[in-house]
Structure 1
């Protein structure tokens, strides 16, 4: 699924089950030493997907540890993103010479819990969700919006190392499976270029929502 949203230079691996007998590096095992079974399975399969994706672009296996915000630390010269939800795990990676940053997210195609939309969206976005719901009522636009916002943060953070709140980006969702995130917080990439907006894509299939952004290298 996820490869349908990303350019060919991005290596994508996804799975709908947890492969048995996956071994972690000791540094990774330390991260989840006290994790419950669900968290352990998500983490382990996510790392497995990431290593499979890295191998496809010629990168040898190495520990993928997390920083203080639990974001994966990728091998030098690469960038990637990992996501998981019930029944789905995926990772995408690319060489930074081709893609500056990546963000992906997966969610069940279900309505958000009551009250959550008000917390994660701006008034203009809620109005848009209402309009889109009238046009395509079979789609859970509130959850699509949430997933897109998660993807925006995952794209923003690796290049700025700064927090981005739900209120710091205004999304325009479109019926054609694309979206634009207008960044309301000032930020620059490592080369000093201003970050103004991200272009992304979304997909609903097989009971899942998947969203993705690939920010081209400058």
Structure 2
């Protein structure tokens, strides 16, 4: 794949051609870079372009897993080069990507979409990104992931602003919150351990309910664009 000039937000298809971004630049935490790849292909080209130590992390996986892994890490390497020399991105506990010194970041992949969000670790303690196909959660899942107060707020929000798929927005916000939480604590965060306030202006706040916590809440942004629900979150250094 040919190289492309990196902007704060960049989206390409598998051939390297520019396409409209799902995650707009006004969603991004200040000073971060986001790279997206839009493709439904199960192609291992990007996997085989990885450093051998990265390939080994999923060498026994099925081809679809290798393709998702290679494509999302391609995005991460493209974003990371804005800050540091390119180096392998390893894997830590619970699959957390371990970035080289000087940067922190997060990866996501779903059908037709892969992306990575990267920033300087001197500014950001952790980052989280998640993407899901736009649509409603399967029956019964909403009651599993949403606290009663979250359910009530989302129903009011949907009625007041005629918004669809807020259940999926909440699910995605919990995923990006977890990705921003885990590097700080190395502790699991269950769905009911964060109370997330989704707001109609495209922002959300995740209030952490377990103790002790490194921060009382995590802030983020959400959007529904081009057939995807996307959320980003970050914890700044003070």
* Worse-superposed segment, 134-143 or 27-36: 134-143
1:135-146 equivalences under 5 Å are 135-146=160-171
RMSD: 1.6
- 1:114 pairs, out of 122, 129, 139, with 139
1:86 aligns to 2:111 (yes or no): yes
**For the residues of structure 1 that align with 2:207 and 2:185, how far apart are their CA atoms?**
16
Superposed CA deviations along residues 68-114 of structure 1, whole A, max 9, x for unmatched, are 30010111121100011111111011111111211110011111111
**For the residues of structure 1 that align with 2:201 and 2:165, how far apart are their CA atoms?**
15
State the Cα distance separating 1:20 from its structure 2 match.
Answer: 6.9
Where do 5+ consecutive residues of structure 2 fail to align? 1-21
**For the residues of structure 2 that align with 1:214 and 1:46, how far apart are their CA atoms?**
19
Secondary structure in 2 matching 1:69: helix
Higher relative contact order, chain-length normalized (CA < 8 Å, sep 6+): 1
1:164 aligns to 2:189 (yes or no): yes
Number of aligned positions between the proteins: 212
* Worse-superposed segment, 137-146 or 167-176: 137-146
CA contact 1:160–1:187 (8 Å) conserved in 2 = no
TM-score, normalisation: structure 2:
0.84
Superposed CA deviations along residues 179-212 of structure 1, whole A, max 9, x for unmatched, are 11110012444xxxxx101111101111111101
* Worse-superposed segment, 15-24 or 59-68: 15-24
1:125 aligns to 2:150 (yes or no): yes
Superposed CA deviations along residues 30-54 of structure 1, whole A, max 9, x for unmatched, are 1211222221111101110111001
